[in-house]
Amino acid sequence: MSDEKPHAAGNVDAGDTSERVGMAVLRERGLEPEELREKLLDAIGAEFTTYYYYTNLRMHLAGHEDYKEITEDARLEDRAHFELVAPRVYELGGALPNDIREFADRASCPDADMPVAYETGGFDLENLTAESILEVLLEAERCAIRTWSEICDMTHGVDPRTYDMAQRILQEEIEHEAWFVELLSMERDGEVNPAGHFVRGEPGDAPYSTNNRFNDSA
């Protein structure tokens, strides 16, 4: 009977829960699922830390309500990116590190920390400018674009599930870069350099990556 159903059986024994066909099919197509999984952990480590750091950056844009609003969209969307991909790590046989420090250290992008010194509980606010914050935001988005582009390259034509996630995230990261190019151009250089789009309808809408519409069980 099973001879007539080409996919009824494969390399994994019936009932064996120590193996995953979802990983075996990647290996058969030349992608090491463990390598991809570690890359995804690094990438969502960066999304998670960026979400944290953007909280600080957004708060310190006091008086620039427009900048704050857009930074909030980018901040919440980075959290959505973490949420979207975290289940995929488990599907690939991995797990989130127990220690958040380990998770932060392996992030694939630099810390998006405040561009002024921090001593004994306070930032050196005298030397803080909106321009310097916008520069940190812009470079964080650029690192994210590079990261998710690499994951798109790794998975294209091989792993449709991860590719779909990565391309959704990449679309938002490219929009984030455009927002901060626009804001920094005007703030620093007095130059009009339109993003082509405005803030989200709701803060952090994540039109491509939100996992409410994509994966309710996450």
Residues at the interface with Fe ion (CB under 5 A): 74, 78, 141, 144, 173, 176
Cα–Cα distance between 44 and 109 in angstroms, integer? 10
Q: Which is nearer to Zn ion, 23 or 86 (CB)?
A: 86
Q: Which is nearer to Fe ion, 41 or 43 (CB)?
A: 43
Q: Which is nearer to Zn ion, 177 or 187 (CB)?
A: 177
Site residues for Zn ion, 42-61, by CB under 5 A, read: 47
Measured in degrees and rounded to the nearest 5, phi and psi for residue 42 equal -60, -40
Q: Are 52 and 43 in contact (CB under 8 A)?
A: no
Cα–Cα distance between 8 and 28 in angstroms, integer? 17
Q: Which is nearer to Zn ion, 128 or 195 (CB)?
A: 195
Cα–Cα distance between 82 and 84 in angstroms, integer? 6
The single-letter DSSP state of residue 64 is -
To Zn ion, the closest distance from the beta carbon of 78 in angstroms equals: 4
Using the contact rule CB under 5 A, the part of the chain among 33-41, 62-70, 79-87, 104-112 near Zn ion is: 79-87
Interface residue list for Zn ion (CB under 5 A): 47, 78, 81, 144
